[in-house]
Amino acid sequence: MKLIPEWFEHQYCLIAWPCNKDLYGDIINNARDEVANVINEIAKTERVIVLSNKEDINEIENKTNLENIDILECKLDDSWMRDIAPIFYNEDKKLKSISFDFNGYGKYPDYFNDNKVSKFISNHLNIPTKNSDLVIEGGAITYDDRKNLFSTKNVLFNKNRKQKHSNEYIIKQLKILFDLKHIFLFENGLKEDDTDGHVDNLLCPVGKNKYLIATTHKLDPNYEILEKNKVNLIKFFQDTNQTFDLIEIPLPSRKKINNKNIISSYINFYFSKNKIILPQFNVKEDNEVKLTFEKLFPNREIIMLETENINYGGGNIHCITMNVPKI
């Protein structure tokens, strides 16, 4: 059993249509417009499957170009596909999946429908799936092609996840499930992150022993957290005798919408076929980050899309997508 890194070829991209009006309030239509832009961009090079509540299907048909797009009716509570989709893996050259439990990050009461999405997807795609009683969101883990998995203690072991097992059992079980050599845990994620600190705002393996890591300046409230994360990650690679190349990606300048601090990271992007879809925040760091990505990925087109209304809901491009690997 082997996890398949995100930069490998995809069969599909999965996206859930925003439906939580309590979360987005009067900007939900703006968020939906941004999600439609993401769908249309990804659909230029890979097939997109959009899950939606029945009442929203007509809107999706009106806002997307419908080429290379399939719409599936599915009861949803929210739209964070990364967290509620199955985790896909390669076993004996066959694509399989595992469905973890989802409990609304231990703080949102409406998650009954979202906890069924993982199995719904596997059944629809006819992919064999296993069930696990571990509570793990897809955005809480990331992995490379060297049997390393990365997460954060404040998410994986948070009491609000109501895990049924000890911390030691969780680590042991993940290693067995995915045939891992190492699991590295950051202490904390970004402050004020609704997820308690998902790793997909902090770190992204990109191949050839390269890792993008979020950093910031000394006046940012996340500075000490991110500096400690970097030091600990370097020590992990050194202690395990692994070569590595850390590429620092600055956080965007902090913004507010409706007096709410927006927790943002350029690390929260999507690998698409021959492209990378990056969030754009209309701040000074945008150009710098785009240039960095263009140098790192000369064979991929770097597309930046405005996503601040999606971001208001608590996530970004990586959070609203899930890649289905091709084997």
CATH number of the domain within which 247 lies: 3.75.10.10
pLDDT digits (tens, 9 = 90+) for 44-63: 999 999 999 999 999 999 99
pLDDT digits (tens, 9 = 90+) for 97-151: 999 999 999 999 999 999 999 999 999 999 999 999 999 999 999 999 999 999 9
pLDDT digits (tens, 9 = 90+) for 286-304: 999 999 999 999 999 999 9
- In angstroms, the Cα distances linking 62 to 34, 56, 65, 132, 179 are 14, 10, 8, 38, 44
What is the mean predicted confidence (pLDDT) over 264-279?
A: 97
What is the mean predicted confidence (pLDDT) over 25-45?
A: 97
What is the mean predicted confidence (pLDDT) over 76-88?
A: 98
pLDDT digits (tens, 9 = 90+) for 211-243: 999 999 999 999 999 999 999 999 999 999 999
Average pLDDT, the chain: 97
Q: Which domain holds residue 261?
A: 2-325
Nearest Cα residue to 318 out of 279, 291, 263, 275: 279
The pLDDT of residue 100 is 98
The maximal CA–CA distance of the chain, rounded, in angstroms, is: 54
The pLDDT of residue 200 is 98
CA distance 84 to 80: 7
- Checking if the pLDDT of 1 tops 70, the result is no
CA distance 223 to 190: 9
> Band of the pLDDT at 257, cuts 50, 70, 90?
confident
The pLDDT of residue 259 is 86
Specify the number of domains making up the chain. Answer: 1
